Amino acid sequence: MTDHIRIFDTTLRDGEQSPGASMGPTQKLVMARALAELGVDIIETGFPASSQADRESTDAIAREIGAQVTLATLSRCSEADITACAKAMEKAHKPRIHVFISTSPLHRKFKLGMSEQQVVERAESAVAFARRYFDDVEFSAEDAIRTEFDVLVKAFSAAAAAGATTLNVPDTVGYTTPDEIRSLFQRLRTAVPGEQLIWSTHCHNDLGLAVANSLAAIEGGARQVECTINGIGERAGNCAVEELVMALKVRNAYFNADSGIRTERLVPTSRLLQRLTGMMVQRNKAIVGVNAFAHEAGIHQHGMLKNRETYEIMRPEDVGWPRSELVLGRHSGRAALSERLRALGFVFEEDEFEHVFSNFKSLTETQRVVNDRDLEQLILGSTASAGQGYRLASMRISDSGGQARAEVELSDPDGNRVAESADSDGPVAALFAAMSAATGIELKLESYQVHSIGMGSHARGEASLSVSFDDEEYAGVGVSRDIIEASALAWLDVANRLLRRREAEPAASAQA
């Protein structure tokens, strides 16, 4: 019998709280639909006590996602946090609360100023209070890996006795090793009473071990893994869903465990997240990087042509890489568009689809072919950011070698036109200076890259930017036939994310 491993996806909470990955409520809803379609068991939608945006997005997701997925929200061990979760989750079909408190000596002393006994008592009373609102309660001992074993046993036993049904053992700082975490799970399962308890692992990737540690935790008895798409999350990120799931699938006989993930949805979901956040994955990222299935060396190609298994342990189509990039045009109908959108990670209700279809038809009147990038632009333009920020109305660049001038016209968030110009020693520098002047937003560039997408007459430039602002990092992308225009769109993508973030400034500053 193969054991079922529950996939607890925290892309919208732990992932989203990391620099450069912030999403607004609409983007989170788009992502939640894709996660449900991917087949995750639990979606952690946010931390309602931390911001109005998290409350709104949790409510929107709860209204839409049905009982096939459990929805979880994060809460400190405080009555105010727990009631905020209960309120935000009122409409959820299958709600869970995830309460946490730090248990390690360092956190007890410097973060909480609480004794070991106080922490255990707080955990117990919070879980008991949470049970008044929720049947499904998960308890996490933050920084569990650096906590004394006997304190962990006390905290988990108290939480279980008070009614927690899932116990999560986070490696909050990404410090553990596979052997250590495997043995920790084995010892905890023996020491903490409760046959029906689900043990959960939550590994951060500071030493690049998050996936290996999560797999080792499964060997030690964990039956829930907390992870994120593309491994996004605090600092070096969390365990990557796609890597964990494919390890379980490809080495199923070894682990004797599997997830319920529809693996052919992995690449579409990963690409959707990249578009929504502007955070692109590296080319050689396992499973979802563009090089993950590319064979360059002649000797490899020779072997592959004779038998794919010489160098391939899974097929690109198993994880959702399209065989070819389908080009849509004026004669394409609803079925073709719908199939293509699913391949890109989008899931729509019928009336929303009709709206997208009509936008698509308008685009085909001015553009002969509509490719994947155009579609992504069309959706993210109309679904995620319409009316929420600055849009590019027009731009003109003149460059006389060493002296460039940029003139830009934008429409501001209220629909008013603003025009500005700037001079500099290069076209991109002049462009960014003019955009700053028009928006009043000064961005400190951390990185700027332009890639070509596609070949020949269909080729596009994709610009990606990352910037620092008020000690936070933001990333953005822009796609256009013209690379300077792509750069302008990427700059605006970042500026609009920043504006949305400002609007949704967290009410509470606590970070998990």
Cα angle 462-499-28, degrees, rounded to a multiple of 5: 70
Query: Which C-beta is closer to ligand KIV: that of 495 or that of 512?
Result: 512
Least separation in angstroms between residue 170's CB and Zn ion is: 6
Strand, coil or helix: 453? strand
CA distance 53 to 459: 37
Query: Which C-beta is closer to Zn ion: that of 101 or that of 267?
Result: 101
Chain center to CA of 212: 20
Query: Which C-beta is closer to ligand KIV: that of 28 or that of 500?
Result: 28
Beta-carbon contacts of 473 under 8 Å, excluding residues fewer than 6 positions away, are 19, 20, 446, 466, 467
Query: Which C-beta is closer to ligand KIV: that of 206 or that of 352?
Result: 206
Contact between 49 and 81 under an 8 Å Cβ cutoff? The reply is yes
Cβ burial of 64 (10 Å; 0-12, 13-18, 19+) is: middle
Among the listed residues 14, 138, 242, 374, the single contact to Zn ion using CB under 5 A: 14
Q: Which does 100 bind (CB under 5 to 8 A by kind): Zn ion, ligand KIV, none?
A: ligand KIV
Rg of the chain over all Cα atoms, to the nearest angstrom: 24
Q: Which does 140 bind (CB under 5 to 8 A by kind): Zn ion, ligand KIV, none?
A: ligand KIV
Q: Which does 55 bind (CB under 5 to 8 A by kind): ligand KIV, Zn ion, none?
A: none
Q: Which does 33 bind (CB under 5 to 8 A by kind): ligand KIV, Zn ion, none?
A: none
CA distance 41 to 490: 34
Strand, coil or helix: 396? strand
CA distance 93 to 114: 36
Chain center to CA of 31: 8
Per DSSP, 238 falls in state B
Q: Which does 156 bind (CB under 5 to 8 A by kind): Zn ion, ligand KIV, none?
A: none
Least separation in angstroms between residue 140's CB and Zn ion is: 9
Least separation in angstroms between residue 208's CB and ligand KIV is: 16
Element (H, E) at 375: helix 372-379
Least separation in angstroms between residue 356's CB and Zn ion is: 35
Least separation in angstroms between residue 168's CB and Zn ion is: 10
Q: Does 124 bind Zn ion (CB under 5 A)?
A: no
Query: Which C-beta is closer to ligand KIV: that of 170 or that of 389?
Result: 170
Least separation in angstroms between residue 18's CB and ligand KIV is: 11
Least separation in angstroms between residue 172's CB and ligand KIV is: 3
Q: What are the residues binding ligand KIV (CB under 6 A)? A: 14, 100, 140, 142, 168, 170, 172, 202, 204, 512
Q: Does 142 bind Zn ion (CB under 5 A)?
A: no
Handedness of CA 371, 376, 382, 385 (dihedral sign): negative
* Contacting residues toward Zn ion, per CB under 5 A: 14
